[in-house]
């Protein structure tokens, strides 16, 4: 009795429920077009911590704890925490989790982490291993800039294709029962590398992975783009979104009407420095947990396909002249 449909998709007959979500964002995100959908807003990028890394850790900790509280549960009720982030060795997650008494599965999918963690948490529940599981991730503009590019103090100029890493964390608490938005299908992606070497053009690097996963999801399920009210990639930004639209058309799927990208939506388009849009694990995390989840609860969105997208580079791989592998995982949610 295998749950597989087609080549890469599994159907979750038990429909794991997303019982609560929490989104927490920095001040820039809190002033953006989606500001009304976020739960917690930091007053500044540091929020009273000693370092930006600690602020990021605080955000993911708070997102997780709030989700548990809102669900009227205790830490001991949760069977697994599935989290990860962009920092080397996932320190935002692991330092947050050391203060939480829940078994921990650390994952890394770069900015695809929200749907990777949601996929695994859903499968752990559908497979009978958990009553409750939490999927969460975070990113922070300053900790990401100084790790991947330049410390902000250098005042480096930003490329037109560059994206602005979202300061934010999102957490989804999943369970077996209740009347909540539920996960129906999971499509785990393959690594795709089309030879992009420009780490200021991540949208182009990740788009082929998004296209491959979305196309495969349609083929596996027999669905077409119209099935969904919204298909939301993670952080392709303007550049990657256009590529995704074009490439999916070549496969015979016209998604333009109901497709958007979390990185394209989270900031005002003309805001200084944003350029191609938002990025980072936190980008799809807060848009999925905030805007999309709340619009599902209110009935505005009934069927969505969440497709967080990750660029699997490191500073070492870039310095060694390597191209940027991309990955994307798709999760179908209905209500």
User: What is the Cα–Cα distance from 86 to 99, expressed in whole angstroms?
Assistant: 20
Chosen residue from 124, 166, 169, 332 binding its own copies by CB under 8 A: 124
CA 285 to chain centre: 4
User: What is the Cα–Cα distance from 279 to 207, expressed in whole angstroms?
Assistant: 13
Query: What DSSP assignment string belongs to 134-193?
Result: EEEEEE-HHHHHHHHS--GGG-PPPPTT--EE--EEEEEEEESSSSS-EEEEEEPPPPB-
Spell out where 176-273 has E strands: 182-187, 230-233, 259-261
Chosen residue from 105, 215, 219, 297 binding its own copies by CB under 8 A: 105
Closer residue to its own copies in complex, CB, 54/238 = 54
The dihedral of CA 57, 63, 66, 68: what is its sign? negative
User: What is the Cα–Cα distance from 315 to 127, expressed in whole angstroms?
Assistant: 37
Piece in contact with its own copies (CB under 8 A), picked from 34-42, 121-129, 198-206, 239-247: 121-129
Three-state SS at 126: helix
Site string for its own copies, 163-192 (x = CB under 8 A): -------------------------xxxxx
CB of 46 to its own copies, least distance (A): 14
CB of 83 to its own copies, least distance (A): 10
Chosen residue from 77, 106, 158, 198 binding its own copies by CB under 8 A: 106
CB of 187 to its own copies, least distance (A): 8
Site string for its own copies, 132-151 (x = CB under 8 A): ---------------x----
Contacts of 245 by beta carbon, 8 Å cutoff, 6+ apart: 255, 256, 259
Piece in contact with its own copies (CB under 8 A), picked from 36-44, 126-134, 222-230, 232-240: 126-134
Site string for its own copies, 228-257 (x = CB under 8 A): ------------------------------
Closer residue to its own copies in complex, CB, 91/295 = 91
6 interacts with its own copies by CB under 8 A: no
User: Which residue in 308, 288, 217 sits closest to 18, CA to CA?
Assistant: 288
How deeply is 92 buried, as exposed, middle or buried, from its count of CB atoms within 10 A (0-12, 13-18, 19+)? Answer: buried
Piece in contact with its own copies (CB under 8 A), picked from 25-33, 149-157, 160-168, 312-320: 312-320
Site string for its own copies, 21-60 (x = CB under 8 A): -----------------------------xx-xx------
Three-state SS at 250: helix
Q: What's the number of CA atoms in the CB half-sphere (13 Å) around residue 221?
A: 24
227 interacts with its own copies by CB under 8 A: no
Closer residue to its own copies in complex, CB, 130/241 = 130
109 interacts with its own copies by CB under 8 A: yes
**Could you tell me the two tokens for 68?**
């548990």
Per CB under 8 A, residues contacting its own copies are 1-4, 7-8, 10, 50-51, 53-54, 76, 79-80, 84, 86-91, 94-95, 97-98, 100-110, 116, 119-120, 123-124, 126-131, 147, 188-193, 312-317, 320, 322, 325, 327
């Amino acid at each position: 009795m295998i749950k597989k449909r087609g080549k890469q998709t599994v159907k979750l007959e038990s429909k794991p429920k997303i019982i609560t979500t929490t989104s927490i964002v920095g001040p820039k995100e809190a002033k953006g077009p989606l500001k009304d959908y976020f739960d917690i807003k930091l007053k500044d990028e540091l929020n009273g911590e000693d370092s930006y890394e600690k602020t990021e850790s605080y955000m993911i900790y708070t997102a997780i704890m709030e989700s548990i509280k809102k669900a009227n549960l205790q830490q001991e009720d949760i069977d697994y925490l599935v989290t990860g982030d962009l920092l080397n060795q996932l320190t935002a997650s692991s330092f947050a989790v050391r203060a939480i008494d829940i078994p921990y599965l650390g994952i890394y999918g770069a900015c695809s982490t929200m749907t990777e963690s949601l996929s695994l948490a859903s499968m752990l529940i559908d497979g009978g291993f958990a009553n409750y599981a939490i999927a969460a991730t975070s990113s922070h503009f300053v900790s990401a800039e100084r790790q991947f590019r330049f410390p902000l103090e250098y005042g480096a100029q930003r490329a037109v294709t560059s994206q602005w890493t979202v300061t934010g964390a999102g957490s989804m608490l999943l369970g077996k029962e209740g009347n909540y938005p539920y996960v129906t299908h999971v499509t785990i992606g393959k690594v795709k590398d089309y030879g992009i070497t420009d780490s200021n053009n991540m949208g182009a690097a990740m788009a082929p992975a998004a296209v491959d996963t979305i196309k495969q999801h349609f083929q596996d399920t027999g669905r077409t783009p119209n099935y969904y009210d919204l298909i939301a990639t993670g952080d392709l930004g303007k550049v990657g979104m256009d590529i995704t639209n074009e490439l999916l058309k070549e496969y015979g799927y016209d998604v333009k009407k109901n497709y958007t990208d979390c990185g394209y939506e989270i900031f005002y388009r003309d805001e200084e420095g944003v350029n191609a849009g938002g990025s980072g694990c936190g980008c799809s995390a807060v848009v999925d947990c905030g805007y999309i989840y709340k619009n599902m609860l209110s009935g505005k969105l009934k069927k969505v396909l969440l497709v967080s997208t990750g660029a699997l580079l490191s500073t070492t791989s870039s310095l060694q002249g390597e191209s940027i592998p991309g990955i994307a995982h798709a999760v179908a949610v209905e209500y």
